A and B are shown apart, each in its own frame.
Chain A
Amino acid sequence: MTNEEYNNLGSNIDKPGGGSLIANVDIAIIGGGVVGCAVARRMALEGASIVLIEKASDILDGASKGNSAILHTGFDAPVGSLEQKCVSRGYEEYLKVHKSFNLPILKTGALVTAWSEEEENKFEGILKKGHDNDIKNLQLLSKTEILSIEPGLATSVRSAIAVPGEYVIDPWSSPLAYLRQAVDNGGKVLFNAEVTGGEFDGNTWLLTTPKGQVRARYVVNCAGLYGDIVDHNVLGDCEFTIKPRKGQFVVFDKASGKLLSSVILPVPTERTKGIVLFPTIFGNIVVGPTAEEQESRDDASVDKETLTSLTRQAIEKLPALANIQVTATYAGIRPATEEKHYRVIQDSNRNWITLGGIRSTGLTGALGLAQHIHDLLSDQGADFKALDNPGIHPVPNLAEHLPRDYKTPGYGEIVCHCEMVSQREILSAMEGPVPAGNLGGLKRRTRATMGRCQGFYCSARLAELTKGKFANPLGIGDKDD
């Protein structure tokens, strides 16, 4: 059965008593963020039948939409923490599997830079932490050494700790590749299916969604910003409360790409990793994120004052950015909780695991978290037989430093000229087992309209190509004649 047919099932089967049964699986995963996609993949590879249930019309609709796309070594994670363990395992697995998915990596390394004596005083602690976390290749750099690696940095930089093992990756293609592999190996996905309730009969769960009911032996709640709400709706309570934390970013034009090769980390504070200046795999330089506590779980608005301040801070550190135009601005919302660490809560009596508080390191930690979830389920007696030869499907490359689709003949036409997105790429992103479910999903899969003109040249053609595909279309009607 194709995913589309599967998605339509709820509408034509009718059973008495609260909707039809649309899936009967070993494991239901709630939430299609990077963590949910990674858990879906891991458990499908371990031989479980899975369904991923997502309330939006596409994956990556919440916290995973906007992050800094860095593959962390975990050098600065709390020593001995679950976060450190997951980041380390996730990092290792990513480097092992990325090639088979055709997922790009760019070894930038990171420099934790000190701009004041006070910041330099924290270096000893950072070096010790890195050492305790088994990251042995940290290196203290003098100003001269920093400027020989990054000649564009402001000369007010004092010293730095080099973290050679940090990479930048594609934050959207990675989770897509994970879910795609889960689906290629028998997994199912439900979109527009918010979990509103559920019942546990001592053996299995029956979850309620607008699409119908899902029966599962185990449930893994990866609902991110809504994790506590899902727990409340189904379990009746939750150990934590999500405290949304917004982070705004400014993206500079690709002309900035040559100005910086490393991720420039600030010396972190107690609360946040601070404002980072980093190259992206797509060829831009980005500055951000801020850390703004807010009530709303979905207000990812930007504000001029903050964007202006971010731009100014970026120019202070990398003066040549003053000549570079801003391409885009965005904000992500981190699902922080009242505590700093990863919250993984297993209710063995009710076959339920909740993941919460997965913030900055979630992109790296996801594969490690997925391994951890597998460990927890195994401990609980879940017994699956791992697949011998799991199927794998490579994803299209969107990285600037590797060949893009337009370099292979037969692409039709370039639709988005700023990001060089071909017609073939756009059409193929709207097909397949995990097709783009909305315009944002299409942008994340292809980069269309994400460049410097933001749709000035291509939105008409894009509106035409996507006509009839999305519930919220680019073109909302025909012109009056």
Chain B
Amino acid sequence: MTNALKYNRCDVAIIGAGPAGLAAAATLKKQGIERVLVLDRETVAGGIPRHCGHPPFGIIEYARLMTGPSYAKRLVATAQKAGVDIALKTSVTQLGFGGILTIATPEGMGELKAKRVLLATGVRETPRSARLVSGDRMLGISTTGALQSMVYLKNLIPFHNPLVVGTQTVSFSALLTCKKAGIKPVAMIEEKSSPTIFWPLHYATNLFGVPLFLNTQITNIIGKDRVEMVQVLDGKKNTREIVCDGVLFTGQFTPESTLARMSHLDLDYGTGSPVIDGFGRCSDPSYYAAGNLLQPVNIAYNCWREGRRTAGLIAQDLKMM
């Protein structure tokens, strides 16, 4: 494993070893950039696809139908083959002016001076708290990401019969994960009058035997140690009770832009993403951003493609130095 502390300096530091970051890293190497270092805080590289244990991934990138984990492995292999170094268990704790990063690793803290930095920190779902959902606070409340990493990375499940909130693409992915893990959702609800994705979700819910309630919002979560029941308000303003042992909040993606938010970089408060110009550059031109950090949420392929495009712009930028 690469130790980022030994680096001190590099040409491009990429924060985040997901599809955007890894694709960018491989591209930079192929364009002749010498020292390209990918930093990731997790113990394994690959990003979110690591715990999306189902297709479709990789159709365009690798011309085959892959699951998330095999796609993630392939991304890592491609980057490493191109000569990219990946430093894991490496948290960037601060973005400094001109590309100076403060990093924390299990071997100690350090500073890394990069000519250019690419932020590719991705997205996460909005949890129950930020949605200001009423009710008790107990075990059994999850997001798709948390569920999938539990199921696919640790072989554990947080509930048997959850209520699924939301009908975005990821909600469909959540249903697949539930099916695979032997979890049987009691229902899926959507505040709006139609699902956020039209197809294949309403077929899918039938397919999974999960009833879909539109015009329905969650109004209360009840339970002592674990979820015991939820109350929902339907389109006719009737409160209904649904017995379940968990609530799965899906979607409402928000950029994982903490580093940018805590730094000197300008942030678009509407989207929560760092502000970039037409070249993918942030308000400090040493910094670039790409992938889901910029447009939550997009499929892996789009992040991959954007990582490659931004890498091309960074390479040009460096060659002009």
Interface set of A (CB-CB < 8 Å, partner B): 251, 253-255, 298-305, 307-308, 311, 323, 325-330, 406-407, 409-414, 417-418, 420, 439, 452-457, 459-461, 463-464, 467, 472-481
Contact = CB atoms under 8 A, between A and B. Distances in A.
Interface in B58-101: 89, 91, 93
Given A255-B262, A456-B145, A477-B157, A301 B136 contact: yes
B258 A418 contact: yes
B158 interface: yes
Interface in B139-183: 139, 142-143, 145-146, 149-151, 153-160, 180-182
B211 to A, nearest CB: 22
B156 A407 contact: no
B226 interface: yes
B277 interface: no
B104 A476 contact: no
B124 interface: yes
B130 interface: yes
Interface residues of B, number: 56
Contacts of B32: none
B133 A300 contact: no
B158 A414 contact: no
A475 B150 contact: yes
B104 A407 contact: yes
Contacts, number: 149
Contacts of B135: 301-303
A325 B156 contact: no
Contacts of B113: none
A481 B155 CA distance: 9
B130 A302 contact: no
Contacts of A307: 132, 134
A406 B136 contact: no
A302 B127 contact: no
B134 A479 contact: no
Contact of A414 (B89, B124, B130, B221): B89
B271 to A, nearest CB: 12
Given A304-B132, A478-B156, A417 B150 contact: no
Residue from A417, A420, A476 with most neighbouring chain B CB atoms (10 Å): A476
Given A327-B130, A439-B139, A475 B157 contact: yes
Contact of B43 (A253, A413, A472): A413
A460 B156 contact: yes
Contact of B151 (A329, A418, A472, A479): A479
Contacts of B160: 476-477
Nearest to A475: B156
Nearest to A322: B269
Contacts of A409: 106-108
Nearest to A409: B108
27 contacts: A304-B133, A305-B134, A307-B134, A308-B132, A330-B137, A414-B89, A414-B91, A414-B104, A420-B91, A452-B258, A453-B256, A455-B146, A456-B127, A460-B149, A461-B154, A463-B156, A463-B158, A473-B139, A474-B139, A474-B156, A475-B154, A475-B156, A475-B158, A476-B159, A477-B157, A478-B157, A479-B151
Contacts of A253: 261
Contacts of A460: 51, 146, 149-150, 153-154, 156
Contacts of A327: 129-130
A477 B159 CA distance: 8
Contacts of A473: 139
A302 B262 CA distance: 29
B109 interface: yes
A455 B142 contact: yes
Nearest to B269: A323
Contact of B134 (A301, A410, A480): A301
B182 A479 contact: yes
B254 interface: yes
Contacts of B150: 459-460, 463, 475
B74 to A, nearest CB: 22
B258 A329 contact: no
B35 interface: no
B56 to A, nearest CB: 22
Nearest 10 A/B pairs, CB to CB: A480-B182, A475-B156, A454-B127, A460-B149, A479-B181, A460-B150, A323-B269, A303-B134, A409-B108, A307-B132
A246 B130 CA distance: 20
B41 interface: yes
A456 B159 contact: no
B139 to A, nearest CB: 6
A246 to B, nearest CB: 12
A439 B181 CA distance: 23
Nearest to B222: A301
A478 B128 CA distance: 24
Nearest to A422: B106
A406 B256 CA distance: 21
B12 to A, nearest CB: 22
Given A327-B130, A459-B142, A480-B181, A453 B124 contact: yes
Contacts of B127: 453-456
A266 to B, nearest CB: 22
Given A477-B160, A479-B157, A326 B129 contact: yes
Contacts of B221: 301
Contacts of A461: 149, 154
Contacts of A298: 224
Contacts of B269: 323
A255 B150 CA distance: 28
Contacts of A407: 104, 109
Given A327-B130, A414-B104, A456 B124 contact: yes
Contacts of A301: 134-137, 220-222
Given A413-B89, A414-B89, A472-B139, A454 B129 contact: yes
B132 to A, nearest CB: 4
